[in-house]
Amino acid sequence: MWDQITTWWKKLREADALHEQLWEAIRKNDVPGVVLAVTEGASLRAQFRSNEPNPPLIYPSLYGWNEMLETLIDLGADVNQSGENGSTPLMSAAYSGNADIVECLLKNGARLDAFDKDRETPLDYARNSKNDGARDQIIRILISHGAE
């Protein structure tokens, strides 16, 4: 029985180390590091294991990291996975003014009808954006895809 517990504990620690490796790579916009961590078994769905309040796609959505976003999506990241406040990658991209990211997320199935804990939608996030240069463009993109 102790052997089973020891084996289980070792696997859990290895999974946690891989998860930390994945998140460190995401935060640094290290695409090869992300690919390596996922290839070795890190899960893109286990966001809260390292006290990370956001889903993997939040960082590239906020900062406009196109290659990272596309890589994470190709590896299986959920474009609609929300963070602890209910915000989605599309909301983050709309707020930060990343039109290319908004288009990529929509192309990959991001939901326009998602809402956060305050009942705000991606269109609300775009309207509240401080990025004056991109705000109108992103609002047009969202409306052209059916946002109301």
The domain locations on the chain are: 13-144
Q: What is the pTM assigned to this prediction?
A: 0.86
Residue 32, pLDDT > 80, answer yes
Rounded distance, CA 73 to CA 57, Å? 8
In the chain, what are the helix, strand and coil shares in percent, each to the nearest 5? 60, 0, 40
What CATH number is given for 13-144 in this structure?
Answer: 1.25.40.20
Average pLDDT for the chain? 88
Residue 10, pLDDT > 80, answer no
* Residue in 29, 107, 24 with CA at minimum distance from that of residue 67: 29
